A and B are shown apart, each in its own frame.
Chain A
Amino acid sequence: MAVPTESHPENPNLSDPSPEPDDLDDFEAEIDEDDNDESEEDDEESEPITPDAQMRVDRVSMESLFKRLSTERVPVRVHDVLIKGNTKTKDFVIEAEVEALLKNATTVQQLLQAAGVANARLQQLDIFDSVNITLDAGPPELPGTANVVVEVSEAKNPLTGDVGIFSKPEARSWSLEGSLKLKNLFGYGDLWDGSVAYGWGQASEVSAGVSVPKFKALATPLTARISLLSQDWLKFSSYKEKALGLSLGLLSIGNHDLSYNLSWRTLTDPSQMASHSVRRQLGHGLLSALKYTFKIDRRNSPLRPTRGYAFLSTTHISGLVPDNRSLRFIRQEFDLRYAVPLGFYHAALNFGISGGFIFPWGRGFLNTPSYLPERFFLGGNSSPVCTLRGPTSILGFKARGLGPAEPRRQERGNSNNEISDVSTGMDFIGGDLAATAFADLSFDLPLRVFREAGIHGHAFACTGSLTKLTENAHRELSFHKLRESFRCSAGFGIIVPTKLFRMEVNYCYILKQHEHDQGKTGVQFSFSSPL
């Protein structure tokens, strides 16, 4: 196991009293003498030994030292952790990352291991150019102790810029993003960033945020983000959504994540073709919500899992201000994935099931419709194996191409009495109860050139259903109707992962769809982010 610490370079002028020190005092004495020699430079008299002999003696002593380290537990106590090199960064930021770790080490081996972990943690803060951790002897009057010196060199240029293609968890698809980052402006390890993102689904976002790893005594990192997001759903559901929001990351420990979101959402319809339910929802709304996410991902790879399982549950409770005019609903979604390796051709069977529901609460909740942008929409070409975003995708159907649909406003020019045979477009208004399930068999292709490039094939079958629960529709829901509402598709395809993006070419065959669904049997391409 590599230990990325720097140890003292051997001082060739050292006069070594005994070739095999057999207790710690002597060991410490060695290190002491190293130190003394270094700090008192030319004061020490050096005995005239030939360089060759000196080197031989040194090598023997180092070998014996390493033998001791590998066979015995050499006890040591950390006396002090010294922090150097931080001009702007506050001491407690660095101490919080490393102190507990180092002071808990009781043997030299543990200390070396802890030093490695501490180094990695400090690098992860992303505010230092380089981090060095050195182990020194403690003060001479306290035998058996060591000092740890943490030397950091802060980033010279606090401003960095970035342009790339990312896949953000809130976005429905991948997006092109440019961002500017300001590191460590106030010395608390804070990271400020501003970013502009343009997404594939006509979504654009301008946002600015700050994240502080440890603020005073709080145990979890704090993040805050202000964003202005605008999404265009005119083609699918005849509305445009604009949201100005503030989100605070409150708690992020282990598998749990809690955040608060306050946003002002506006729905408009510049095309003036919306259907009846969309017309009723156009306007402004205030969303004040708590979001709790619980995630376990034990699969061996997020893009091509061949063994393991994953579980994700997201609970979204909105309407936390006492004002009863704000939007109030409860939204719950969960994902379960399981991968079984099959042993030959690197093949694996992936199963997955996702579900979710949304329901309003508050006065008169049985008769109010659920909030339109927060409903579930099924469809799109994202691969269900890789995405853990709740019930969102069924291969073979277009984006938002599934579920309850309402006719749009009829074209002008047709009077009320004529029967128009031009089909009015349909608006997909989403559903309150969604469920999807899939089974996917992935395997390597027989040619070696494909195997090495990571290109593999897969065969899949998916099914999903989307139904409405609110406005007393749940009274008419029966088991039979629910079963009838499941659509299915199946197919096979090839996945080509490249450095810039991940491409899937699938042939989908729609086994069952309802009247207004937009499922197409045929070859489809889909692109997603490479990570």
Chain B
Amino acid sequence: MGVFTFVCRESADEWTAKQLSGELETSAGSTYELQRKLVQVALSSDSSGAVQSSFSYITPSSAVFQVVVGGASVDGNEERENLTLVARKPCFGLPTACPTCLPVYVYLRFAHLPLNLEFNLIHPDSDQIPFVESGNYVAYNNERGGVIWSLKEDGIVDLDSDVRGIPEWVSTKAMVESWLADAVMYELWVGSDGKSAYKIYYSDLPWPIGKILYLKQVRAVKQLLGITSENAERREEEIYRRSTSAYGALSSRLGEESFFFENRPTSLDAVVLGHVLFTLHALPETSLLRSKLLDHTNLVKFAESHKAEYIDANSSASVPESDPSTSASRRGPSQWSSKPKSKPKREKTEEEKKFRRRTKYFLVTQLVAVLVFLSLLGGSNDAEVELEDDDDALNYD
């Protein structure tokens, strides 16, 4: 690590710089060029690691410029001191494609905090993710009601201080966090064919592990939502009905404003924005929930405009290039299309049941045949052994 301090002087429209305790010097026509040259000169004499520099005027024609080269640990620690959000993997054109991580990301973007985004690709069944860390401080999602609440309690960021007392705000947030969250969970794991869920959560795990965890999660979601084979259709109707009324309520609350309450972003906006973006981009086009959402154009416009302003503008390195399969989703609101599946589901379950029954019968008969064969084979082996012994006895005499 090297620290280079230069004293810079201007005379006759030209800036010259000389190292305070050393022999390096250079000159240039403007302060910008001078800084660039000085950094290059410093790197050429000590070329290890990252560069930090600072330029300060002392008088209008003299300044001090300091270059710190290397000190990678300083940089690393500084990075660690910044907020880091660890979330699930980005895809479908979203900075993070998991429906619980996206609202937290949006909330931190609303707060204009400098943020590092890191991804955890190997722990899809953890309820600790998303978490926010800064140095040795960590706020997990399964403590104290979530990351957003922990950040408020620990004094890092709080966007809801004014609105927390408004009863409408509280009840709208409760509705979004229960009805719409359930609807998304249902649609992602049970209602659709599972390809989106697989891509988001399990595409970075080796195949056998991914498959087993996916089946476990589907079962867990069904248990959580109280879905059994008898009430599956009833629950599905109920979930969709609730989501329809929730969308209607949100749409009428929003109107033509750009935020829900007091024209300022709050955590409610973050949660709704996260939900809408996820439903529009990550769920397949055949999804019923998605088509219901597209009926409310002001919600879609709300999502698109905020995405452009807060997420895409800040993305730079955090959102990787979307793969060609999802490039279709980068469309304006007028171009959203949806092809919801209608009613063949009920007959499909009947067929599936018959198919499963037949497979069971087939497997059982196979097993019985194998067992019968083994027992017969075991009996004949014993007979062979006895014959051999008799033969030996004859030879012996």
Contact flags A63-98 to B (C-beta < 8 A → 1, else 0): 000000000000000001010101100010000000
Interface size on B, residues (CB 8 A): 36
Candidates B122, B124, B137, B396; contact of A410 at CB < 8 Å = B137
Candidates B120, B126, B136; contact of A424 at CB < 8 Å = B136
A39 to chain B, nearest CB (A): 7
A481 at the binding interface (Cβ < 8 Å): no
User: Given A282-B126, A283-B120, is A276 in contact with B205 using a C-beta cutoff of 8 Å?
Assistant: no
Most buried by B among A264, A284, A424: A284
One of A320-328, A396-404, A458-466 at the interface: A320-328
Candidates A84, A285, A410; contact of B136 at CB < 8 Å = A410
- In the assembled complex, which residues on chain A have CB atoms less than 8 Å from the CB atom of B128? 269, 272, 282
Q: Are B209 and A416 in contact (CB under 8 A)?
A: no
Q: Are B206 and A283 in contact (CB under 8 A)?
A: no
Closest residue to A186 on the B side, CB-wise?
Answer: B378
Q: Are A276 and B126 in contact (CB under 8 A)?
A: no
How far apart sit A196 and B123, CA to CA, in the bound complex (Å)? 28
B138 at the binding interface (Cβ < 8 Å): yes
User: Given A82-B392, A272-B128, A409-B137, is A284 in contact with B154 using a C-beta cutoff of 8 Å?
Assistant: no
Q: Are B155 and A272 in contact (CB under 8 A)?
A: no
Closest residue to B84 on the A side, CB-wise?
Answer: A276
How far apart sit A282 and B138, CA to CA, in the bound complex (Å)? 15
Q: Are B136 and A407 in contact (CB under 8 A)?
A: yes
- In the assembled complex, which residues on chain B have CB atoms less than 8 Å from the CB atom of A285? 122
How far apart sit A323 and B211, CA to CA, in the bound complex (Å)? 14
Q: Are B156 and A416 in contact (CB under 8 A)?
A: yes
How far apart sit A268 and B128, CA to CA, in the bound complex (Å)? 10
Candidates A139, A279, A280, A284; contact of B209 at CB < 8 Å = A284
- In the assembled complex, which residues on chain B have CB atoms less than 8 Å from the CB atom of A279? 86, 133, 138
Candidates B126, B134, B382, B389; contact of A283 at CB < 8 Å = B126
- In the assembled complex, which residues on chain B have CB atoms less than 8 Å from the CB atom of A139? 395
How far apart sit A99 and B142, CA to CA, in the bound complex (Å)? 67
- In the assembled complex, which residues on chain B have CB atoms less than 8 Å from the CB atom of A348? none
Q: Are A325 and B205 in contact (CB under 8 A)?
A: yes
Contact flags B112-128 to A (C-beta < 8 A → 1, else 0): 00000000111110101
B397 at the binding interface (Cβ < 8 Å): yes
- In the assembled complex, which residues on chain A have CB atoms less than 8 Å from the CB atom of B124? 284
For window 251-309 of A, CB contacts with B under 8 Å fall at 264, 268-269, 272, 276, 279-280, 282-286
Contact flags A91-111 to B (C-beta < 8 A → 1, else 0): 100000000000000000000
Q: Are A416 and B135 in contact (CB under 8 A)?
A: yes
B396 to chain A, nearest CB (A): 8
User: Given A272-B140, A272-B143, A276-B80, is A84 in contact with B213 using a C-beta cutoff of 8 Å?
Assistant: no
- In the assembled complex, which residues on chain B have CB atoms less than 8 Å from the CB atom of A325? 204-206
Q: Are B136 and A39 in contact (CB under 8 A)?
A: no
How far apart sit A147 and B395, CA to CA, in the bound complex (Å)? 11
- In the assembled complex, which residues on chain A have CB atoms less than 8 Å from the CB atom of B137? 409-410, 416
Closest residue to B388 on the A side, CB-wise?
Answer: A91
- In the assembled complex, which residues on chain A have CB atoms less than 8 Å from the CB atom of B382? 87
For window 48-85 of B, CB contacts with A under 8 Å fall at 80
B216 to chain A, nearest CB (A): 11
Closest residue to B134 on the A side, CB-wise?
Answer: A416
- In the assembled complex, which residues on chain A have CB atoms less than 8 Å from the CB atom of B122? 282-285
For window 126-150 of B, CB contacts with A under 8 Å fall at 126, 128, 133-138, 140, 142-143
Candidates A82, A147, A286, A415; contact of B206 at CB < 8 Å = A286
Interface size on A, residues (CB 8 A): 33
User: Given A276-B133, A407-B136, is A284 in contact with B385 using a C-beta cutoff of 8 Å?
Assistant: no
- In the assembled complex, which residues on chain B have CB atoms less than 8 Å from the CB atom of A468? none
Q: Are A409 and B136 in contact (CB under 8 A)?
A: yes
How far apart sit A283 and B209, CA to CA, in the bound complex (Å)? 11
- In the assembled complex, which residues on chain B have CB atoms less than 8 Å from the CB atom of A86? 385
B208 at the binding interface (Cβ < 8 Å): yes
How far apart sit A323 and B207, CA to CA, in the bound complex (Å)? 8
How far apart sit A486 and B142, CA to CA, in the bound complex (Å)? 41
Q: Are B206 and A326 in contact (CB under 8 A)?
A: yes
A408 at the binding interface (Cβ < 8 Å): yes
B119 to chain A, nearest CB (A): 10
User: Given A283-B120, A407-B136, is A84 in contact with B80 using a C-beta cutoff of 8 Å?
Assistant: no
Q: Are A409 and B120 in contact (CB under 8 A)?
A: no
Q: Are A415 and B143 in contact (CB under 8 A)?
A: no
- In the assembled complex, which residues on chain A have CB atoms less than 8 Å from the CB atom of B133? 276, 279
B54 to chain A, nearest CB (A): 24
Closest residue to A80 on the B side, CB-wise?
Answer: B395
- In the assembled complex, which residues on chain A have CB atoms less than 8 Å from the CB atom of B204? 325
A140 to chain B, nearest CB (A): 10
Closest residue to A86 on the B side, CB-wise?
Answer: B385
Q: Are A415 and B154 in contact (CB under 8 A)?
A: yes
- In the assembled complex, which residues on chain B have CB atoms less than 8 Å from the CB atom of A268? 126
How far apart sit A412 and B122, CA to CA, in the bound complex (Å)? 27
Q: Are A39 and B397 in contact (CB under 8 A)?
A: yes
- In the assembled complex, which residues on chain A have CB atoms less than 8 Å from the CB atom of B155? 415-416
Closest residue to A288 on the B side, CB-wise?
Answer: B206
Q: Are A286 and B209 in contact (CB under 8 A)?
A: yes
Q: Are B206 and A321 in contact (CB under 8 A)?
A: yes
Closest residue to B80 on the A side, CB-wise?
Answer: A276
- In the assembled complex, which residues on chain A have CB atoms less than 8 Å from the CB atom of B123? 282-284
How far apart sit A407 and B137, CA to CA, in the bound complex (Å)? 11
- In the assembled complex, which residues on chain B have CB atoms less than 8 Å from the CB atom of A280? 120
Q: Are B205 and A284 in contact (CB under 8 A)?
A: yes
How far apart sit A84 and B120, CA to CA, in the bound complex (Å)? 64
Closest residue to B213 on the A side, CB-wise?
Answer: A284
Closest residue to A424 on the B side, CB-wise?
Answer: B136
How far apart sit A91 and B382, CA to CA, in the bound complex (Å)? 12
Closest residue to B392 on the A side, CB-wise?
Answer: A82
Closest residue to B139 on the A side, CB-wise?
Answer: A412
Most buried by B among A272, A283, A408: A283
User: Given A283-B120, A285-B122, A415-B154, is A84 in contact with B205 using a C-beta cutoff of 8 Å?
Assistant: no
Q: Are A84 and B209 in contact (CB under 8 A)?
A: no
- In the assembled complex, which residues on chain B have CB atoms less than 8 Å from the CB atom of A323? 206-207
Most buried by A among B140, B154, B209: B209
Closest residue to B48 on the A side, CB-wise?
Answer: A475
21 A-B pairs within 8 Å (CB atoms) are namely A82-B396, A86-B385, A87-B382, A91-B385, A91-B388, A264-B208, A268-B126, A272-B140, A272-B142, A279-B138, A282-B123, A284-B123, A284-B205, A284-B209, A286-B209, A323-B207, A325-B205, A409-B136, A412-B154, A415-B155, A416-B134
Instruction: Given contacts A272-B128, A325-B204, list 9 more A-B pairs with CB under 8 A.
Output: A91-B385, A147-B396, A283-B126, A284-B213, A286-B206, A325-B205, A409-B137, A416-B154, A424-B136
List the 4 closest pairs (A to B, CB-CB), nearest first: A283-B122, A283-B123, A286-B206, A410-B136
- Identify the A interface with B (CB < 8 A): 39, 80, 82, 84, 86-87, 91, 139, 147, 264, 268-269, 272, 276, 279-280, 282-286, 321, 323, 325-326, 407-410, 412, 415-416, 424
- Identify the B interface with A (CB < 8 A): 80, 86, 120-124, 126, 128, 133-138, 140, 142-143, 154-156, 204-209, 213, 382, 385, 388-389, 392, 395-397
